[in-house]
Each structure stands twice: as structure tokens, then as C-alpha cells.
């Protein structure tokens, strides 16, 4: 079990932005003060190559990101943003190549990034590129599970239709971005631990067991937490821990990617509880 992150990921974005460097800073400080500090590796700066980005994204879109400017009214692409985005993808590929379990403590997040368009604070789709890369290097059955409170529009566009990939995207109905895809599992606002854990037992677990994946990739967003300003759900820190335990029991190899979570204090607590549960089973 490894926790990968890198200081360059803190160089992108503004402290006044909702997806600010303070989020990841809070997570890293909590890990460094915890019993899991020796799992954290900040030394690897593997960058995704253009060929790897093209596993999901169009050449025109990649060129647009790499040349900088404004993605939209909310995100400026600086040189540091480009570096952070390339490393955020690259660290996932690093764990894949090492055939390790792990949690990518990265930003910018990825699951809203579509093949030809970034949005929702996301530039490149970290998890979708990892899934495509896994197929390229010989994995035959991959499960991708997204429990961020928002619809994973980008991941669905990138991965839908590939029978080697089972995608399940749990998200709150009528939240950003509007719409849903074939992989959507929609929960009403105000759902909490009971609803999420029942869904896990009744839907996620049997589907994953039937599919029998070699690798489970998880978009781990923590904005369904009861404290989060962007969602309207009531998951608790203990609830996230139970979800992590359940996922861990299902996966021969498990790699999590940090997505959303906008209450810095609880984001750090939720990541720490997730790591604690994963370490009970997979250290
Ligand atoms: Zn989110």
C-alpha cells in the first residue's frame, strides 16, 4: 500500500478557489502526523506522456491545455498547472506499472474532464487514463467505481462501451453537472451512511463479484460528507471508512484517486479513515 503525492501538486491554483491547494495540504499534513506517514512518498514526479494522455483525450484538447491560458472563467492554466496535471496523471500510471495498491493524493482532480473538454476543476481524466493504460499493459477486467457526490461525466464519456471495463458511478441526483450516463447510480439528496452502505451491498458488491476484476480503480471524492459545502449528502467519516473496507475486500489490486471534497478539515479526516481501513486489510 503506497500513498503517492508530490509538492508540485500544491503549486497549481489559488487559495481563494474552491479547489485550492489548501485541500491537499490539509490531507498531507494529516497523513504526515499519522501512523501512516511512512507509506507516503512525495519523491516521484513521473509525468504522463502525450501518448498516454491520448489514450483518453483528443490531440487538440491536449495542445490547448499545454499551451496555457484560461480553461474557463474559473481556471487559469499556468505553467505550474500544466506540471501538476501531468504529474497527477503520471502518479497513477506509476502505481499501475509497479502493480501496487495505493491512494493517489493528487490534484487537479480528473473525473469531470471529457476527451475534448476540461471542466469542473478537472483538466485530464486521471482515472480514465489509468484504466486505458491498464488495458494497454495487459489487464483484461477492470472495475472503475466513483463515489464522488458529482456525476462523473468525463469518466463515463471516456470509458463507456468498453466491455473490459465495468464502470459504476454513484452520485447525487440533480447536482453539477446536469445529466447522467449509463453507469450512473443516482441517490437522492440527504442520503447518508445507511443508503450508501445498502447500495454497496445490494448493487456494487454483487456486480463486482460477477465481473471478477483483476484491478479496481476508485474515484474517491469526499464531497458526499455531511459537512461538505458542495453536496447535500450525509455520509460520515465512519461511513467512508466502511465503504473503503468493502471496496478493499472486493479488489485483488486497488488504486484510489482523490477527486472532490471541499471541507478541508473533514477531507483530511475522511482520507485518513479510508487509509486506516485499507491498511487493516492490505498493508
Ligand atoms: Zn465532486
Domain extents in the chain: 2-282
User: Are 222 and 149 a contacting pair, CB within 8 Å?
Assistant: no
Distance 216 CA to ligand 1 centre (A): 20
Distance 149 CA to ligand 1 centre (A): 5
pLDDT tens digit at each of 283 positions of the chain: 999 999 999 999 888 899 999 999 999 999 999 999 999 999 999 999 999 999 999 999 999 999 998 888 778 899 999 999 999 999 999 999 999 999 999 999 999 999 999 999 999 999 999 999 999 999 999 999 999 999 999 999 999 999 999 999 999 999 999 988 889 999 999 999 999 999 999 999 999 999 999 999 999 999 999 999 999 999 999 999 999 999 999 989 999 999 999 999 999 999 999 999 999 987 6
Distance 124 CA to ligand 1 centre (A): 15
Distance 184 CA to ligand 1 centre (A): 14
Distance 262 CA to ligand 1 centre (A): 8
Angle (CA) 213 239 275, round 5° = 65
Distance 138 CA to ligand 1 centre (A): 30
In terms of pTM, does the model score above 0.85?
yes
How big is the chain, counted in residues? 283
Q: Which residues are catalytic?
A: 112
Distance 187 CA to ligand 1 centre (A): 14
* Residues near ligand 1 ion, CB 5 Å cutoff: 148, 150, 221, 223, 260
In whole angstroms, give the CA distance from residue 34 to residue 38: 9
User: Are 4 and 45 a contacting pair, CB within 8 Å?
Assistant: no
Instruction: Assign domain 2-282 to its CATH architecture.
Output: 3-Layer(aba) Sandwich (3.40)
Amino acid at each position: 500500500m503506497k500513498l503517492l503525492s508530490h509538492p508540485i501538486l500544491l503549486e497549481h491554483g489559488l487559495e481563494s478557489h474552491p479547489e485550492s491547494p489548501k485541500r491537499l495540504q490539509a490531507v498531507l499534513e494529516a497523513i504526515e502526523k499519522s501512523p501512516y506517514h511512512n507509506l507516503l512518498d512525495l519523491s516521484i514526479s513521473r509525468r504522463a506522456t502525450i501518448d498516454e494522455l491520448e489514450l483518453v483525450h483528443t490531440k487538440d484538447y491536449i495542445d490547448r491545455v499545454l499551451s496555457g491560458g484560461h480553461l474557463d472563467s474559473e481556471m487559469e492554466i499556468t505553467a505550474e498547472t500544466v506540471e501538476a496535471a501531468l504529474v497527477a496523471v503520471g502518479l497513477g500510471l506509476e502505481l499501475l506499472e509497479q502493480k501496487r495498491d495505493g491512494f493517489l493524493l493528487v490534484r487537479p482532480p480528473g473525473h469531470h474532464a471529457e476527451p475534448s473538454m476540461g471542466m469542473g476543476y478537472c483538466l485530464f481524466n486521471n482515472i480514465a487514463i489509468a484504466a486505458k493504460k491498464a488495458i494497454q499493459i495487459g489487464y483484461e477486467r477492470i472495475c472503475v467505481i466513483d463515489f464522488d457526490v458529482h456525476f462523473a461525466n468525463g469518466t463515463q464519456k471516456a470509458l463507456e462501451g468498453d466491455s473490459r471495463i465495468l464502470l459504476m458511478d454513484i452520485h447525487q441526483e440533480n447536482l453539477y453537472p446536469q445529466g447522467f450516463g449509463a453507469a450512473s447510480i443516482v441517490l437522492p439528496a440527504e442520503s447518508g451512511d445507511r443508503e450508501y452502505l445498502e447500495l454497496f451491498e445490494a448493487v456494487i458488491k454483487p456486480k463486482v463479484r460477477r465481473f471478477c476484476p483483476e484491478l479496481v480503480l476508485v474515484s474517491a471524492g469526499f464531497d458526499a460528507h455531511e459537512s461538505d459545502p458542495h453536496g447535500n449528502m450525509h455520509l460520515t467519516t465512519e461511513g467512508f471508512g466502511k465503504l473503503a473496507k468493502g471496496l478493499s475486500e472486493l479488489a485483488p489490486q486497488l488504486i484510489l484517486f482523490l477527486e472532490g471534497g471541499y471541507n478541508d478539515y473533514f477531507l483530511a479526516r475522511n482520507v485518513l479513515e479510508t487509509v486506516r481501513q485499507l491498511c487493516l486489510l492490505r498493508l
